[in-house]
Amino acid sequence: MTADIADIAELARERNILIRCGSGGVGKTTISAALGVEAARLGRRACVVTIDPAKRLANALGIDALSNIPHEIEGPWSGQLCALMLDAKGTFDDLVDRYSSSSEQADAITSNRIYRNLTGGLSGTQEYMAMEKLYELVEESRFDLVIVDTPPTRHALDFLEAPSRLTRFLGHRLFQALLLPTRAYLRAVSFATQALLRTISKVAGAEIVDDAISFFQAFDGMQDGFRARAERVRELLESETTGFILVSSARPDTVAEAGWFADKLHESGLRVEGLVVNRMYPTFGTATDVRSVDPTTALGKLQANLRSYQSLTAREEQAFRELAARLAPAPVARVPLLEVDVHDVAGLTEVADHLSAAPTQRAG
């Protein structure tokens, strides 16, 4: 067990991997980029990886686009900040090239229709390739810190479970049967497997089955490499050098979603090391600080508006207080609602200031 951290910014100083999670629309990508800015200000080499095919990360950084290759962001820091947007197919192609015994084997896989469909949109491929990219960036040792901007909470679980799912799949008897080197040998496969293949042929056509068999047989000899990488990624997620940060707004629904995800992490043997509550309304004292005046006057109307506003901020604080207590001793950072959307390094720097400012306090 690692020592408790003092604030969110310390995670950017101490950890090698930060996994940022939360429900949709709470500013997760902005917080991920701001953590990268903070790490670069601390003199570290940081890379922010987004799985989202939308251009949110590029927009937050004030650039036109990102690719599957780390793009360096210029800024007033002593360290380095890079960012990339995952290209699942490109990452998968690179992986096939790496583990193929020859260019012929790689071509046989990448030209197969099953492979093209797999990389084109099969559920889970995006999440698994994100894990592969994480592995690649960590093993290259080019960066001190890799920050992963995950999909919304429910899909983030797919991302975290991808290594285990792949390991189970590669060990499945049907997969092993389809790796048999010749079609003739398939006659020795169990009756149940043959029956399954005949059923698939009737439904999808014999050509699809032939493509599937060719695809799996083309992978012959590569499964050990895939399995080893999947196990290594799981080790990385469980390492003390990896930290999980939840991002939420102060709305009860997003707080409940964050709490649900924290429970799921706990069930997996992982723990949340920081909570960021984003887009909070600032406070302006308490209602008792202001002497009551005639509510029909202009000053009285302003006072009523202030009290209504103070009631709103109190409800926001109450909304996540229980979650903060459950996550203790993880620190909590409160990022206020800014006057404008974050769309450049200056805006991200302002957000980063709030992650390391004095108002950041420990949960509970």
Residue 357 has pLDDT above 80, yes or no: no
DSSP labels, 108-123: HHHTSHHHHHHHHH-T
Give the model's confidence band at 121: pLDDT under 50 very low, under 70 low, under 90 confident, else very high.
low
For residue 308, the model assigns a pLDDT of 83
Mean pLDDT of 286-302: 73
Please report, as a single letter, which amino acid is at residue 211: D
Residue 358 or 245, more confident: 245
What whole-number distance in Å separates Cα of residue 296 and Cα of residue 304?
A: 10
Angstrom distances, CA of residue 214 to CA of 105, 120, 131? 11, 18, 26
Averaged pLDDT for residues 39-64: 91
Distances in Å between the alpha carbon of 301 and those of 91, 292, 311?
Answer: 59, 11, 15
Between 265 and 161, the higher pLDDT residue: 265
Mean pLDDT across the stretch 156-174?
62
For residue 359, is pLDDT > 50?
A: no
Whether 341 shows a pLDDT value over 60: the answer reads yes
Inform me whether the pLDDT recorded for 42 exceeds 70.
yes
Q: What integer pLDDT is reported at residue 182 of this predicted model? A: 41
Residue 300 has pLDDT above 90, yes or no: no
Query: What is the pLDDT averaged over residues 93-99?
Result: 81
pLDDT in tens, 303-318: 888 888 888 888 888 8
DSSP string computed for 274-332 = EEEEEEEPPP---GGGS----TTSHHHHHHHHHHHHHHHHHHHHHHHHHHHHHHTTSEE
Average pLDDT over residues 115-119: 70
What does CATH list as the number for 8-177+232-282+317-362?
3.40.50.300
Q: Residue 320 pLDDT > 70, yes or no?
A: yes
CA distances from 265 to 145, 147, 199 (A): 21, 18, 39
Residues in the chain: 364
Look at residue 288 and tell me whether its pLDDT is greater than 70: no
CA of 348: how far to CAs of 37, 84, 245, 340, in Å? Answer: 7, 17, 17, 12
pLDDT band at 290 (very low <50, low <70, confident <90, very high): low
> Residue 18's closest CA among 211, 272, 230?
272
Q: Provide the edge-to-edge strand list for the sheet that holds 145-149.
A: 71-73, 80-85, 45-50, 145-149, 17-22, 242-248, 272-280, 331-336, 361-362
User: pLDDT at position 307, please?
Assistant: 83
Compare 346 and 126 and report the one with higher pLDDT: 346
Task: Give percent above pLDDT 70 in the chain.
Answer: 72
pLDDT band at 4; cut points 50, 70, 90? low
SS3 190: coil
Q: What is d(CA 142, CA 323) in angstroms, rounded to the nearest whole number?
A: 36
Mean pLDDT of 140-145: 94
Which pLDDT does position 96 carry in this prediction? 81
Confidence at residue 229, expressed as pLDDT on a 0 to 100 scale: 78
pLDDT for 158 equals: 67
What is the domain partition of the chain in residue ranges?
A: 8-177+232-282+317-362, 180-218
- pLDDT over threshold 90, residue 220: no
What is the rounded distance in angstroms from the CA atom of residue 302 to the CA atom of residue 159? Answer: 49
* Residue 13 reports pLDDT greater than 90: yes
Q: Is the pLDDT of residue 159 over 90?
A: no
Average pLDDT of the residues in 260-273 = 88
Report pLDDT for 97.
Answer: 85
